[in-house]
Amino acid sequence: MFENKIAVVTGGARGIGRAIAEEFRRSGARVCVIDLRSNDYFVGDLSEQAVLEAFAHKVIADYGHVDYLINNALPLMKGIDQCSYEEFNYALRVGVTAPFYLTKLFAPYFAPGAAIVNISSSRDRMSQPQTESYTAAKGGISALTHALAVSLAGKVRVNSISPGWIDTDCAVYEGPDADQHPARPGGKSHGHRPYGALSLFGQGGLSDGGEYLYRRRHDPPDDLSQRLWLEAAGEGLSVKTAICYYSRHHGNTRKVAEAMAGEGEADLIDVTARRMVRLEGYDLIGFASGIYYGKFHESVLRFARQYLPQGKPVFFVCTYGGAKGGGPRDVAELARERSCPVLGVFGCKGYDTFGPFRLVGGIAKGHPNARDLENARGFFQSLKKTYDSEETR
């Protein structure tokens, strides 16, 4: 998808910027990083005009065009008590002037279908004490996005993403530091999914509402970066899914889970694997099991009790030889207790030699068959669309 594409990433030697750059590289793009820190392309201070001009000259001399410009570099964060006049202006030069000037320098060289992604922040409207230089810069890049989107309409897509608190060291916090913001903005965190988002990239100009607000408090930068480069390519947002399954005997449930996982970004988690699991980073969580005496296997319910986070959208998958009985009823009740919306239930026949069925050679032989698996794939695709519509409502 990104073969021979040229991606420019500012502040790409660490944290979110580094993760974005790595994702582009893994996808076949050629990446031009500029950062004060050591990197394999260009080391320089984004606050200096001559540095920006030298960097842009090198990019065009090396590759001749730009497909993606990711303005990510972190502006200085200091507050009213400690920030000097020079430091405040330095933050603005890095956070606002550099994105503007790089866009101006690359303007004649943007390829057809090019995109600019400006990394803003939720801090531009949910400020914390003593962050004035950073907050002003992030507010500036948000406003600059609107203006550039209009100016470059029909030529380059220009959008911003506003992450919440992103801990690039992936530390775990407790107490007051675990709260995203003292004002506690409305709504629930849905992991690294955008909260209340509209489509980020339209067909040019200021597209369909214009921004994403990422609400996760400690979102791993690699997860965030995957969404950035997918959106920069105009490919749509992926839904990171976990399918937690119990599958024994004939592997019926695993076959269905694998078919679903092949349709998108989904991890399969065996609930009997006896390892610590963190589901907070997933957008959507599925629970899958064969039917045992009319219900899900007890190990699935135990797993859900231990690991299911509050408020996560869930779905259920079951395979059965005879009647499915109550199916996922027990796990669904737990989901309701934890305010987890249930988006759907999929069931299909599965070869069953459990209990007395063994005496007759089993029932539902040959299932799940090709049609069952195709139906499972269709269910999963529909499920993701349902999730997107719920998220973007």
DSSP 215-238: --TT--HHHHHHHHHHHHTT----
Residue 134 a catalytic site member: yes
- β-strand partners of 35: 43
Mean pLDDT, range 64-69, rounded to an integer: 96
CATH topology identical between 6-232 and 241-391: yes
Residue 238 binned pLDDT confidence (cut-offs 50, 70, 90): low
208 has pLDDT over 50: no
State the catalytic residue, choosing from 90, 134, 195, 282. 134
Beta strands 42-43 and 66-71, pairing class: unpaired
Give the residue, 1 or 46, on which the prediction is more confident: 46
Residue 334 binned pLDDT confidence (cut-offs 50, 70, 90): very high
Spatial strand order in the sheet of 110-119: 42-43, 30-35, 6-10, 66-71, 110-119, 157-163, 211-214
DSSP 56-74: HHHHHHHHS-EEEEEE-PP
Three-class DSSP category at 115: strand
- For residue 166, what pLDDT is reported? 56
CA distances from 180 to 123, 152, 210 (A): 10, 35, 23
Instruction: Determine the Cα–Cα distance for residues 43 and 233; give it in Å rounded to an integer.
Output: 26
pLDDT tens for 153-163 read 889 999 988 77
- Domain range summary for the chain, segments of one domain joined by +: 6-232, 241-391
- For residue 251, what pLDDT is reported? 87
What is the pLDDT of the chain when averaged over all its residues? Answer: 79
pTM for the model: 0.51
| CATH number for domain 241-391, candidates 3.30.70.120, 3.40.50.360, 3.60.15.10, 3.10.20.580 | 3.40.50.360
In this structure, which topology does domain 6-232 adopt according to CATH? Answer: Rossmann fold (3.40.50)
Three-class DSSP category at 175: helix
Total Cβ atoms within 10 A of residue 81? 8
Give the residue, 277 or 197, on which the prediction is more confident: 277
Give the residue, 126 or 288, on which the prediction is more confident: 288
- For residue 335, what pLDDT is reported? 93
Residue 388 binned pLDDT confidence (cut-offs 50, 70, 90): low
Cβ density class 155-181: b for 16+ within 10 Å, e for less: ebbbbbbbbbbbbbeeeeeeeeeeebe
pLDDT tens for 109-153 read 999 989 999 998 877 666 778 899 999 999 999 999 989 999 998
- For residue 353, what pLDDT is reported? 77
pLDDT tens for 135-146 read 999 999 999 998
| Alpha helices in 96-219, H assignment, sequence order | 98-106, 132-151
